[in-house]
Amino acid sequence: MRKAALALADGTVFEGLAFGAAGEATGEVVFNTSMTGYQEILTDPSYVGQMICMTYPEQGNYGTNRADEESSRPHATGFIVRHFAQEPSSFRAEEGIEAYLVRHGIVGIHGIDTRRLTRHIRTTGAQMGVIASDGSPKALVDRARALPGMEGQDLATRISTAEPYAWSEGGADAWSDEERMAVEMPRFHVVAYDWGLKRAMLRLLADAGCRVTVVPSRTSAEVALALRPDGVFLTNGPGDPAAVEGARATVASLLGKVPVFGICLGHQILALALGASTYKLKFGHRGANQPVKDLATGKVDITSQNHGFAVDDRSLGHRARVSHVNLNDGTVEGIEALDAQAFGVQYHPESSPGPHDARHLFGRFVQMMEQRR
């Protein structure tokens, strides 16, 4: 068993054991409080440039399988756990977690006090780190300190699709790929901007009667509208929303022309297009147990979340209003445009992993497209 260390930019070092791929991993160290769903988390493109500490101590128990992937590969740069199961126990398992990490070149560390690490990040904030099996603690800390932070990084454009493509596959809750099929006779056409999308979003749109054309991050509003969509969907993604090249101006040009629905990074970019500003949270919201209140109805949904930036409610002005708030810290979790058919939520109504409380928002988007007809 190889020894390994996790070194943070503030000089804190955690010693443990290496697992997964050999080598060194770097990135922003963040924690996720989900009790299940590690494969969906690893393959969520919103984790580009980040190393994930799972707060639940047991990981890998049910293995991995193709049906649970949210993209074509893992995007997290490192995986930090207390303990992992070397032999999974599930009829759906196709591969163990360590073999999965090795195959995809993801470096991991286990055997560290993840509770202590989580409390440390919660107190001092998310920060850059290094996982390595070689090198002195001082050298690893120095490398962590030299890494660029997440602010100002346009990671979404970097991982966006290079070419447009069509999507019609439904089955968001299918247990295997064989159960998923194209939805027949879709009623609506949606253009989805790919800033790091999760497949569950596209499947839920298909299940709601939509065929989807996924377009690259830099697609102009003119090109998107030339596809004659009934609505435009703004996806999740990694990095700083204010740094995504051209996104603010593009979405601003779409407002008022078609219904617009944004999730996570898409919600933040929608807010920017409406004249608001965003800021980096101290340690972000990542997990499947975040309470969000709908201010119009008073209803509380338990939601899945993964973001390190948020919308500044004081900057919204007269073009939009706050529609949802986080009950833990009062941050903005949803907005509605007042002069256009457009809304966005900071959380993940598609879950994957997490509760399904907020999936009705896809129906709301469909209803907006129906009304426009």
- Positions annotated as catalytic residues are 264, 348, 350
CB pairs under 8 A, 24+ apart, for 320-323?
320/271, 320/274, 320/276, 322/295, 323/294, 323/295, 323/296
CA dist 312 and 327 (Å) reads 16
Residue keyed to tokens 């050298």: 139
CA dist 193 and 327 (Å) reads 29
Whether 263 and 234 have beta carbons less than 8 Å apart is answered as yes
59 bridge partner residues: 84
